[in-house]
Amino acid sequence: MARPLRAEIDLAALCRNYHTASALAPQSRSMAVLKADAYGHGALACARALTGLAPAFAVATIEEAVALRDGGIETPILLLEGIFEASELAMVEALSLWQVVHSEWQLEAVLAYRPRRPLAVWLKFDAGMHRLGFSADELRCHWARLRQAPERVTDLHLISHFSTADLADDSAFQAQHAQVRALGEALGAPLCLANSPATLQHPPAHGAWNRPGVMLYGSNPLEGMLPAGVALEPVMTLRSRLIAVRTLEAGEAVGYGGRFCTRTAVSAWSPPATATATTAMLAMAPRCWSTASAAPSPGECRWTCLPSTSPRWPMPTSAARWCCGGAGSMSTRWRGTATPSPIPCSPVCCRGRRGSICRRQSRRR
């Protein structure tokens, strides 16, 4: 294959990030979220690296779980969206999967199914995300029904997903957390609440289990800085050879919709994972490429080289690492840093995870 782009995955960094997540919550067990092919990092390789460290993995679909089992992964796996049809329960049982139940039809399917051994169920409460889950009244009722079916259901947990744990203004988070705590206490339920942001900045939300995802891959999901003393390492490094050199004047717009414009002259073009990422890289390039001496240190540039022209996506200020190779080659190392980052500085965002860069790219596809 001639495409001169490589994504290198640092599995040791993944494991160190996992250690960071679990060390932040010593009273909890941390299941590593490997959904969406481990956020584009390769689920099986990540699962193998984390085997023996993480007591469980979480994925979105049964296909993802099957791929891990086929790859020899025996660690418990939670299906975050549960089954998509009742016939999948046989597979859930055969593969010893744990399942979220967030809908009435799933509940009825579980209660109608006759397993050889009871199935682990994580009943989902909608604390305010309003994607999946039951209201408090529904959940109390369903919890009682599941408790009355020990031949079918075991290891009942209460799971919920915060919608605003990443924000600096924690008022909505506090309300959601208080609600789910009260519910959990009333039911005597083991809780699984914290995603990466809650793992990082809301220790009271740590439960019997936490579910860190994006932080494992090195991205700071917080609106603000990482807590003091916490560092995350980038897991993915993109390396590319330049395929063309363009020379643009400062202030010229680049790419679809002219959403980015250069602050300084630009002279680099590479074939990274997505065209919009290319745009970002191109807009970043000048300081380290054509005016390397102006970079803060050799091979380093600032995201501030990438001025978004849209007021909806203000400029990130965090640093990204940009290593210039020899003539005609370069590599990037994007770093989720401790500085405010409206667009998370990680190639995770190139893979459709989050941030304006990937959102705009996906609309173009």
Ligand X SMILES: Cc1ncc(COP(=O)(O)O)c(C=O)c1O
Residue with the closest Cβ to ligand X?
213
As a three-state string, the secondary structure of 276-292 is HHHHHHHHHHHHHHCCH
* 214 lines the binding site for ligand X (CB under 6 A): yes
* Amino acid type, 268: A
Residue 172 CA: distances (Å) to CA of 165, 168, 183, 302 = 8, 10, 17, 33
Considering CB under 6 A, how many residues would be counted as binding ligand X? 12
**With contact defined as beta carbons under 8 Å apart, do 289 and 365 qualify?**
no
**In the numeric block, which tokens belong to residue 66?**
């099957």
Q: What one-character DSSP code corresponds to residue 323? A: E
Contacts for 270 with CB less than 8 Å, ≥ 6 apart: 5, 240, 241, 242, 243, 278, 281, 282, 330
| Residue spans of beta strands (DSSP E) within 276-348 | 300-302, 319-324, 329-333
Shortest Å distance, C-beta 362 to ligand X: 16
Residue 128 or 197: the one with the smaller Cβ distance to ligand X is 197
Q: Which stretch binds ligand X (CB under 6 A): 208-216, 285-293, 303-311, 357-365?
A: 208-216
For ligand X, the closer of residues 213 and 234 by Cβ is 213
Q: Which is nearer to ligand X, 80 or 268 (CB)?
A: 80
Q: Quick check: is 124 catalytic?
A: no
Which residue of the set 35, 39, 124, 217 is catalytic? 35
* Using rule CB under 6 A, residue 285 touches ligand X: no
Strands (E), 233-294: 236-241, 253-254, 260-261
> Do residues 143 and 154 make contact, with C-beta atoms less than 8 angstroms apart?
no
* Minimum CB distance to ligand X smaller for 210 or for 274: 210
Residues between 129 and 188 that touch ligand X (CB under 6 A): 161
CA distance 128 to 145: 24
Using the rule CB under 6 A, which residue among 9, 32, 33, 343 binds ligand X? 33
Question: Is 22 near ligand X (CB under 6 A)?
Answer: no
Contacting ligand X within 75-94 (CB under 6 A) = 80
Instruction: Let me know if 35 is a catalytic residue.
Output: yes
Q: How far is CA 322 from CA 25, 221, 247, in A?
A: 33, 21, 19
Q: Is 213 a binder of ligand X (CB under 6 A)?
A: yes
CB-wise, 286 or 344, nearer to ligand X?
Answer: 344
Residue range at the interface with ligand X (CB under 6 A); choices 40-48, 113-121, 207-215, 321-329: 207-215
Q: Which residues bind ligand X (CB under 6 A)?
A: 33, 80, 161, 195-197, 211-215, 221
Catalytic residues: 35, 256
